[in-house]
Amino acid sequence: MSNSPRNPEEHPYMIKIHKKEAINKSDIPSWASQEKELFTRLGVAIEQGLSMAEATTRLETFGPNAIVQDKQTPAWKIFLRQFKNPLVILLIVAASASFAFQEWLDAGAILVVVFLNACIGFYMEFQAGRSMAALKKMVAVSAKALRGGSLKEINIELLVPGDVIYLEAGDMTPADARLFNSSQLQVNEASLTGESVPVEKEPAVLPADTPLAEQSNLLFKGTFVTKGNGWAVVFGTGMNTELGKIAHLIDTSEQAATPLEKKLEAFSGRLIKITIGLVVAIFGAGVIGGKPILEMLETSIALAVAAVPEGLSIVATLALAQGMLKLARHKVIVRKLAAVETLGGTTVICTDKTGTLTQNKLEVEALAAPGGSWAKSADAADLPAGHLPELEYRRLIQIAILCNNSEIIAKKRTIKEIGDPLETGLLKFARRLGEDINELRLKSPKVSEMPFSSETKIMATLHDTPEGKLVFAKGAVEDLLKCCSFILDGDKTIPLSPKAKKAWLDEAEKMASSGLKVIAGAFRSDAEAAQELAENLVFVGLFGLIDPPRREIPAAIKHCRDAGIEVVMVTGDHPATAKAIARQLGIIDADETDVVLGKEMPDFEKLRKADKSRWAAAKIFARVSPKQKLDLIRVFQERKAIVGMTGDGVNDAPALKKADIGIAMGKRGTQVAQDVADMVLRDDSFASIVAAIRQGRVIFDNIRKFVIYLLSCNLSELAIIAIVAVSFLDFQLKPLQILFINLVTDVLPALALGVTPGGPEVMKQKPRAVNEPIIDKSRWWRIFFYAGVITATSIGAVYFSHYALHAWGEWDAALSNNILFFTLIFAQLFHVFNMGSMDLPFWRTEVVRNRYVWFAVGGCALIVAGLYQIAPVRKALSMVPMSVADWALSIGAGLLAMVVIRMGRNLKFFQNEKQ
């Protein structure tokens, strides 16, 4: 904050303001005010910031710094929305027809089921909304604000007018603020002005009539910093910002349906068409065959009711919501619902190295300078000072401490690190050598800075030191050497020849091949602020830092390989370092050596087929730019791959947005990266990506399980009703009985299937295509087989009861109806166990081991037994007394259906896919 007054008394300290008008009252706009005048009006001393007490008072006055959330959908609208489903409309039509023919009980029962379904759907949607709100809290954005003289990270909603904030590349501007100190600051204001090119920002006093797009001394909420850094004072928060004003003008648009919702909607439409066609055909056949119209109408209503899988939308909602919460427990925050569905189809993961595959805890392990070298050893007394000439050692220490924006705060037994891990690693190294970091920084204050960027790969700072004005620089070896004209040799500065540059590049390669991250250091004396900082530098030497791989990563990489997922390392690091780490982790085998360098990657439009083939086959990309990351994703997507891409910087945002699954880092990721990503890793670990993919596959598999279960059950009901109708049998199921079966067997077992933890083979299957339907051809054949077995055993039980148990007597239509009714119930309940993996023994399948499935089956059986004891229910459902033999037959036939289906797992359509 060098441009700000050094003496806090130059500004009135903490004018106590408790009224909004006191801060906002001025005829001069913020961009046209003199700095002192604005600070006075805001009641803040910029060297100290607001006190915590004053900030709390202002927060009560101004309210939280938040754009007013979109009005939540009223509860009554959510409830009415449950009746928009085409399948529900079909049920309402069936109820209306029952009313028209004075079938009051059937009509009332159908409406009760529709109402219950709406209530459950309403509850699930309401809970899903609460879950999403909880997930949003987990990714609350923070800002750096000066409070009581200390820079603190606080939730942006706690910012108030008068807060002094610090912003750097990658930060989202948290409020409207006036800039009073900056270094090469550029801001992307596309979200506000539509201008896609970043604009320069610098402290100034502008004319009062300056238009918004030209207010270069103001920072606006919702824009983001693309380069440099700066200090600013907040003057507008929440709805009292430019973004807040726009929010007043925008009507909330409805969220687009997810791919799964679209698939289910299309599926429902097809199911209705099939049902209507079947109803018309059977109704016509019955009437032509001489059946009474009223009886055939009742059969048609039963068909319509049987076709509707009442639990489908409820269970789908639950599966997605429950999956998102599970992922949150795995430290993965899913920001977009569609990402849950896409996760399971991921075929390629392009991942950064630092912090994702490694621990992001860098420590200096080696130094190399013209006068000597040092490598860390077990001997704590073996220090670099004994291996390097004094001036070379002193310059390297100055570079490590001064060309550095990070801090380490030593507490009793711990060290708190604030800033970039590479920079904190340099500071820890200097501290370990006994250097006083604060004293050196006080004696050599920073005058100006050229911030690090992904384009230059260099950071340089100008300092006013006891030796005069000195520039210190650090960065990628090959890039910094290009900026060096001289080299420090002992205490002499001599020209740096091309041959010497080549020798130092070879030395860096040698250090990197052992797994070290290598950066170079340089300086320049007699520097002036007006000069370009990174030119005519004096090369000093190399720092070698170790960033150990995360212990859990090799196993995660192996899981990916087993699952048919290709892992590609995309890093800005040295190729030799990347290759060494990739071998340790198992990304490449020992004999794989191909590394694609950024300088070898032409523009996407100029790529030849041969180039694309090499890109697609390579496992390591080093020294790549953000533009090249974007091109790499396009290459994979052209080859029909589903690409997951990790990123943390503002320049990664285009690649994250282009990827099928954009994955941002929660700890070190910028706000911009997190905002465009589909998911955020709270622990930055690659292993969490693998856990998320596994959970995504489990969620899709569970959805597929309960869809197959519901369809096979409902299809068996349709088949039974159709067969009984066209055979002119007298034991047809009643609409009320069908409703009861669906209510008992659809909802609870399907809900239990929706929370199945997943089988051991989930991560051994090849990724599915993103456009793969929920039900493919082989699974349709499986559904027909399931429904056929359930139909045959249910109708077969009726005939067995008549001819075996009741000695060929007269047909008892009521008893036969009940045998059919209860056999169908038990067959469908036991059928849930067929949804497990068909290639595993029965007792080892994930469904059998799911305790919720057992609770659901047991609960349904108790409901049936309990309701059978209630006389009015028995009458409504046309139940009659049944002997022990009849009950045993119904239960046994249900078990027989399950056994026959298990035995049929060797059929061709079971071999194509694993359940």
d(CA 756, CA 762): 12
Sign of the Cα pseudo-torsion (849, 855, 860, 862, in order):
positive
According to DSSP, the β-strands at 176-188 and 224-236 are antiparallel
Q: Alpha helices, DSSP H only, in 608-685? A: 609-617, 626-638, 653-658, 671-676
Amino acid present at 350: C
According to DSSP, the β-strands at 620-622 and 596-597 are parallel
- Are 233 and 245 in contact by the 8 Å Cβ rule? The answer is no
Encode 751-780: b = buried (16+ Cβ within 10 Å), e = exposed. bbbbbbebbeebbebebbebeeebbbeebe
Q: Is 461 exposed, middle or buried (0-12, 13-18, 19+ CB in 10 A)?
A: buried
- Are 821 and 876 in contact by the 8 Å Cβ rule? The answer is no
- Are 703 and 340 in contact by the 8 Å Cβ rule? The answer is no
Nearest to residue 514, comparing CAs of 376, 379, 371? Answer: 376
352 is a catalytic site residue? yes
Q: Alpha helices, DSSP H only, in 537-685? A: 553-562, 575-585, 609-617, 626-638, 653-658, 671-676
Active-site position among 106, 163, 176, 352: 352
Q: Which residues pair with 448 in a beta bridge?
A: 462
Q: Alpha helices, DSSP H only, in 147-199? A: 190-193
Q: How far is CA 498 from the centre of its chain?
A: 48
Residue 375 CB neighbours (<10 A): 15
* Residue 486: C-alpha distances to residues 356, 387, 400 (Å): 37, 22, 20
Q: CA torsion angle for 626, 632, 638, 640 (degrees, to 10)? A: -110
d(CA 586, CA 561): 10
d(CA 149, CA 344): 49
Residue 839 CB neighbours (<10 A): 13
Element (H, E) at 551: none
Element (H, E) at 199: strand 199-200
Q: Which residues pair with 487 in a beta bridge?
A: 494, 539
Residue 335 DSSP label: -
Residues written for the chain: 915
Element (H, E) at 386: none
d(CA 170, CA 144): 13
Residue 453 CB neighbours (<10 A): 18
Residue 454 DSSP label: T
According to DSSP, the β-strands at 150-155 and 218-219 are unpaired
Question: How far from each other are the two terminal CA atoms of the chain, in whole angstroms?
Answer: 63
| Cα-only R_g, the chain | 35
Element (H, E) at 34: none
Residue 638 CB neighbours (<10 A): 12
- Are 561 and 348 in contact by the 8 Å Cβ rule? The answer is no
Q: Alpha helices, DSSP H only, in 31-177? A: 35-42, 52-62, 75-81, 86-100, 104-138
Place of tokens 């001069």: 28
Tokens of 305: 């009711």
Q: Which residues pair with 805 in a beta bridge?
A: none
Q: Which residues pair with 363 in a beta bridge?
A: 546
- The catalytic residue positions are 352
